[in-house]
Structure 1
Amino acid sequence: MLILVTGGAGFIGSHIVSAFTGAGHEVRVLDALLPAAHRTPPPVPDGVDWRHADVRDRGAVADALRGVDAVCHQAAMVGLGKDFADAPDYVGCNDLGTAVLLAGMAAAGVRRLVLASSMVVYGEGRYECARHGVVRPGPRRIADLDAGRFEPPCPHCGEPLSAGLVGEEAPTDPRNVYAATKLAQEHLAAAWARATGARVASLRYHNVYGPGMPRDTPYAGVASLFRSALARGEAPRVFEDGGQRRDFVHVRDVAGANLAAMDGLAALPEGGLRAYNVGSGEPHTVGEMAAALAAAHGGDAPVVTGEYRLGDVRHITASSRRLCDELGWKPVVDFAEGMAEFAKAALRAG
């Protein structure tokens, strides 16, 4: 099978390309090499058909789709960016780019798509109140964050909440521009599938880390920022109180999830999108992750700063049971092993 991987030169995309070629698929890569993610051109894997072009370029997309059996769409701007001035770039890259790709797929008769989505489409995670059961807290107030009150309270009684795992059927509630664009990608893909009878698997990644992660930029994830600080001989700076919970999933496991999703597309119903959470199943706090990285690297212990970023959520961890049960995937890199490897791995210059 010939698979087009958009964003295939990126951190996650390059691991997916390796997984596909290792499974015997032919791979074509389309990547714009955006400066926010690539400061130097990446090496081209042997046997991969490489196309340097933007997914918003209709002609380049049409050409890249010739002869393709399926698409794995990874191309996107990621992270929170610098401020809201980044919004047009996020919408252009993520949503216009997806619309151009889907229009090209419709014209070319390509009906199988694996889409890179994100757990950020949920907003805050799943919470329960002792009095009111499952509740959905609103965005955290600036006054509470300034006062160091980081836990979202029950929206009904103001009492503390307990955090749990989010399932794919949970309501979506994107809290920042990046999250809104990822949910829009899912809606566009679902509309395309209904119109064409296609099949879509949308993979909602958790906090992906691992070898080949780019060095810190305004768009980098927290694992990259901490690892980059250690490489500079600095202590990782942990925002809030370090107690925010995430699921840190290794990039090789994410690549394996894409391979499982691609192989499982044929079993999905025509004309629909099926969402799958992709996590390790081992939630940890950001403070625990920073401490594990620092210990494995041999660097200074993390510094908890109390700072915060508007748009960040407190706890977001989700169950990946659907992906395991329906597509036969399971994570193989545990937290301790992955952090020890990442602490010593080289980072990409961009």
Structure 2
Amino acid sequence: MFDVREDPGADVRDPEAVERALSGVDAVCHQAAMVGLGDGISDAAEYVSRNDLGTAVLLAAMAKAGVGHLVLAGSMAVYGEGRYTCPRHGSVRPGPRSVADLDAGRFEPVCPACGDDLSPAPVDEDVPADPRNVYAATKLAQEHLAAAWARCTGGSAVSLRYHNVYGPGMPRDTPYAGVAALFRSALARGEAPRVFEDGRQLRDFVHVRDVAAANATALEAEAAPGVLTAYNTGSGEPHTVGEMARALAVAHGGPEPVVTGEYRLGDVRHITADSSRLRAALGWRPEIGFEEGMTEFARAGMREA
């Protein structure tokens, strides 16, 4: 275990510390990253340093030590908006939503060809990447670095593209966390969760224990040498952000969520997972359903950021 929370000197950007941590290791599960939207573009240098420089240092040390298998904590954020279908034009990829539309409360993307309403659908791993914020861009860069390492060394790399992970032990009161942690932090303070846009954004909320099981499975499974293989890691059970906020509030016994109409430019409207590749290739299955997981999370403790 190489964890800055346990050892303040355990910085993945420190080549000597990473080399020491790799002694006697034959595979690496790389979770270290700066997550969330943070403070926007002002955090860009820190995101790149922690996520991409840190990954480059790790990969160089792995090559030096002859460690040949990597499991990377990837992210669904690399896709940008999810998959959509238009009744007239089939599968389409809408561009970033405009400030004017968001200010007017027009949150749903429309068909870029005809302007008609779209129907969201799960994304698979073949959807082209289109990161829409700094964090997403650094997560895609991590995959490119890992793929380059695999080609150069003959090692095997797996990226588990996590969807919205939640569960006990999430950090409290920090913008560098997912929406589940923000809502749970508000409830811990006795406040109503503040739901942005209209609360109808679709996400795939996957429990942290299921994600841990996916990592363990990927560490032990045979992987193709010389390439990076990406797998969506989601529950397969889409819910809206508003539904998640209400489930937490009810289970916690806290105030009803407030839908604010606010927005963040880096957010996408809908993104849900098609995790069939991971299920078929590695035999992984999520075990914890939405209601069970949210009830546990609503009553579990959080850690200091």
**Which residue in the other structure is 2:91 paired with?**
134
Q: Is structure 2 residue 55 aligned with structure 1 residue 98?
A: yes
**Which residue in the other structure is 2:15 paired with?**
58
CA distance in 2, matches of 1:281, 1:326: 16
**Which residue in the other structure is 1:343 paired with?**
298
CA distance in 2, matches of 1:219, 1:201: 24
Alpha-carbon contact 2:249-2:257 (below 8 Å) kept: yes
CA displacement, residues 186-223 of structure 1 (integer Å, 9 cap, x when unaligned): 00000000000000110000110001111020212111
**Which residue in the other structure is 1:213 paired with?**
170
**Which residue in the other structure is 1:304 paired with?**
259
**Which residue in the other structure is 2:224 paired with?**
269
Alpha-carbon contact 1:51-1:64 (below 8 Å) kept: no
Q: Which residue type is aligned with residue 232 of structure 1?
A: R
CA distance in 2, matches of 1:251, 1:52: 26
How far did 1:107 drift?
0.6
Q: Is structure 2 residue 233 aligned with structure 1 residue 278?
A: yes
CA distance in 1, matches of 2:240, 2:109: 16
* SS of structure 1 residue aligned to 2:24: coil
For residue 324 of structure 1, the aligned residue among 279, 285, 297 is: 279
Q: Which residue type is aligned with residue 65 of structure 2?
A: A
Alpha-carbon contact 1:238-1:304 (below 8 Å) kept: yes
What does 1:105-116 align with in structure 2 at a 5 Å threshold?
105-116=62-73
CA distance in 2, matches of 1:289, 1:110: 40
* SS of structure 2 residue aligned to 1:242: coil
Q: Is structure 2 residue 80 aligned with structure 1 residue 123?
A: yes
CA distance in 2, matches of 1:299, 1:55: 39
What does 1:8-157 align with in structure 2 at a 5 Å threshold?
29-33=1-5, 52-157=9-114
Moved over 4 A (4+): none
* SS of structure 1 residue aligned to 2:159: strand
Q: Which residue type is aligned with residue 131 of structure 2?
A: P
> Which deviates the most, 145-154 or 214-223?
214-223
* SS of structure 2 residue aligned to 1:318: coil
Q: Which residue type is aligned with residue 31 of structure 1?
A: D
Alpha-carbon contact 2:102-2:263 (below 8 Å) kept: yes
* SS of structure 1 residue aligned to 2:171: coil
Contiguous gaps of at least 5 residues in structure 2: none
Relative distance call for 1:181 and 1:227 in structure 2 (3 A) is: same
Alpha-carbon contact 1:30-1:52 (below 8 Å) kept: no
Q: Which residue type is aligned with residue 306 of structure 1?
A: G
CA displacement, residues 141-161 of structure 1 (integer Å, 9 cap, x when unaligned): 000000000001100111100
CA distance in 2, matches of 1:294, 1:62: 45
Q: Which residue type is aligned with residue 213 of structure 1?
A: M
Q: Which residue type is aligned with residue 193 of structure 2?
A: P
How far did 1:346 drift?
0.9
* SS of structure 2 residue aligned to 1:31: coil
Aligned residues between the structures: 305
**Which residue in the other structure is 2:128 paired with?**
171
CA distance in 1, matches of 2:153, 2:233: 27
CA distance in 2, matches of 1:69, 1:300: 49
CA distance in 2, matches of 1:174, 1:248: 20
Q: Which residue type is aligned with residue 67 of structure 1?
A: G
CA distance in 2, matches of 1:31, 1:139: 36
Alpha-carbon contact 1:127-1:161 (below 8 Å) kept: yes
Alpha-carbon contact 1:209-1:248 (below 8 Å) kept: yes
How far did 1:53 drift?
1.5
Contiguous gaps of at least 5 residues in structure 1: 1-28, 34-41, 43-49
* SS of structure 1 residue aligned to 2:35: coil
CA displacement, residues 25-76 of structure 1 (integer Å, 9 cap, x when unaligned): xxxx12234xxxxxxxx5xxxxxxx784111101111111111111000000
CA distance in 1, matches of 2:21, 2:249: 43
CA distance in 2, matches of 1:256, 1:51: 27
Alpha-carbon contact 1:166-1:318 (below 8 Å) kept: yes
Relative distance call for 1:51 and 1:262 in structure 2 (3 A) is: farther
CA distance in 2, matches of 1:85, 1:232: 28
How far did 1:164 drift?
0.2
